[in-house]
Structure 1
Amino acid sequence: MAEMSYRTALVTGASSGLGRGLALWLAKRGLRVFAGGRRMPQLQALAAEAQAAGATVEPVEMDVTQVEATRERLLALDSECGGLDLVIANAGVGGVTHGRRMEWDPVRAIIDTNVTGAAATLTAVLPLMVERRRGHLVGISSLAAHRGLAGHAAYSASKAFLATFLESLRVDLSSTGVRVTCVFPGFVKSEMTANNAFPMPFLMETDAAVELMGAGILRGETELSFPWQLALPSRLAKVLPNPIFDAAARRLR
């Protein structure tokens, strides 16, 4: 695929963590970045930090679970900026959804954000990208997508949905000029992982993860998985027979 020059980008979930880091990283490389999120004070602080570095980040208050409003906002931004080149569906939530203590509210919250919100974000301006024959869709999945993690049924399933959704889009969009990238991070220091009560092997610093992601996205990689020490066994786990995987998962739990 021919190299693409990026002028504009939208990043959801940009008020903290990987989203915030990616928005700033892209802005420092000359992109006009729209930083989407629910917490306007954090987005305004991000914009000020970018401005101090001579970069442009524009705060956009949005809640991806409000699907119609999200899609309308993306279409308006696309029209206003002359076309979004890069759309990164990063907004996501986690939480325990254990089969023995299952409650609907946390399951619904994860699906509303990680599945419905991500799909709405990725598809809002896709027809316009196809028409322009340029654009790049990025979804932040997780290494947890490869197998169902004990106690995290909704989260693992939501990230598996996003990975499969993006894979189908990648196949459909071949030869259209629109790129598709799926990112599979492991454990990264963030607000979401700060309260985890379980071990997090190979926990990465946010800046290191952002650098890997940003560089891979601009190269047009179709998939990015990190850190390798966790990505490799996660992928191998996909081919384990269920009895072996189940026994290992129970021990980890």
Structure 2
Amino acid sequence: MAESSYRTALITGASSGLGRGLALWFARRGVKVYAAARRKENLEALAQQARAAHAHIEPVELDIAQADATLARVRELDDACEGLDLIVANAGYGQETSGKRIKWETVKQTIDVNVSGTAATLSAVLPRMVERKRGHVVGVASMAAFRGLPRNAAYSASKAFLHIFMESLRVDLQGTGVKVSCLYPGFVKSEMTAQNKFAMPFLLETEAAVELMGQAILRGEAEYAFPWQMKGVMGLVKHLPNGLFDGIARRAR
């Protein structure tokens, strides 16, 4: 198993799913991982599993929906470890937001987590990384960023925000020594997708998705969408004329 060049990493949404898998993936490669999430008991179990594998994971209880507190906590962690090398903003929230019965509470929670909290996580120590001339920030978006999917107005919009946010950061940070990556998973087995009541084509096991994401991060990919089958489908859908897209979406809805 190849070791990573990172000394330290912060991974949010690490109590389950992709975040949990990524925390273990990097810890097993010699990285000191700060695993952040709300569910402390899950993080403690994760840290214990890492210790059994002679790896190092530090649990960090954190609710990224509280953006200002998140900003402060990430800076504290940066101070404590003398500089985070890698930040993976993986935490996310997704519930149905159909335009016919939309609930502001769901829209707000989606924005608080996927937009404000994620932006705070990524922004917290970027100026310090630029000063150090090293670092890597990674946003975990979704292929839902490419079109407004049925019953997913808030989720699709929040991931579209992250898509553009990371693109602008990437342009700005060229030549600074700080890398920027944005990942676009398709459907992956997780607690969040388990609640979906529709077909999920090309569904990936969590472990397989984690391996693809970890390798993409190590390669420093600017953008990485997977699996390739879903990437191909969404690549076509992205460029459909609105009239044709609306008709297909209406039937899918």
Q: For this structure pair, what is the TM-score category when the shorter chain's length is used for normalisation?
A: over 0.9
Please tell me the root mean square deviation across aligned C-alpha atoms, in Å: 0.8
Instruction: For residue 226 of structure 1, report the CA deviation from its aligned partner.
Output: 0.7
The separation in 2 between residues aligned to 1:236 and 1:118, in whole angstroms, is 28
Aligned to 1:236: 236
Does 2:91 correspond to 1:54? Answer: no
The separation in 1 between residues aligned to 2:126 and 2:106, in whole angstroms, is 30
Instruction: For residue 71 of structure 1, report the CA deviation from its aligned partner.
Output: 1.0
Aligned to 2:209: 209
The separation in 1 between residues aligned to 2:198 and 2:233, in whole angstroms, is 18
Instruction: For residue 233 of structure 1, report the CA deviation from its aligned partner.
Output: 1.3
The separation in 1 between residues aligned to 2:151 and 2:195, in whole angstroms, is 15
Aligned to 2:192: 192
Aligned to 2:68: 68
Instruction: For residue 5 of structure 1, report the CA deviation from its aligned partner.
Output: 2.4
The separation in 2 between residues aligned to 1:38 and 1:201, in whole angstroms, is 30
More moved, 223-232 vs 206-215? 223-232
The separation in 2 between residues aligned to 1:173 and 1:235, in whole angstroms, is 27
Runs of 5+ consecutive residues of structure 1 not aligned to the other structure: none
TM-score (norm 2): 0.98
SS at match of 1:199: coil
SS at match of 1:43: helix
TM-score (norm 1): 0.98
Runs of 5+ consecutive residues of structure 2 not aligned to the other structure: none
Deviations 1:175-227 (A, max 9, x none): 00000000000000000011111111111000000000001101101111111
- What is the 5 A alignment of 1:1-253? 5-253=5-253
Q: Give runs of ≥4 in structure 1 deviating > 6 Å.
A: none
The separation in 2 between residues aligned to 1:29 and 1:190, in whole angstroms, is 23
Instruction: Check conservation: 2:23, 2:35, Cα contact below 8 A.
Output: yes
Instruction: Check conservation: 2:147, 2:238, Cα contact below 8 A.
Output: yes
Instruction: For residue 230 of structure 1, report the CA deviation from its aligned partner.
Output: 0.7
Instruction: For residue 237 of structure 1, report the CA deviation from its aligned partner.
Output: 1.3
Code of the residue aligned with 1:71 in structure 2: it is: L
Code of the residue aligned with 1:114 in structure 2: it is: N
Instruction: For residue 232 of structure 1, report the CA deviation from its aligned partner.
Output: 1.1
Instruction: Check conservation: 2:67, 2:112, Cα contact below 8 A.
Output: no
Deviations 1:16-35 (A, max 9, x none): 00000000000000000000
The separation in 1 between residues aligned to 2:218 and 2:34, in whole angstroms, is 17
More moved, 21-30 vs 69-78? 69-78
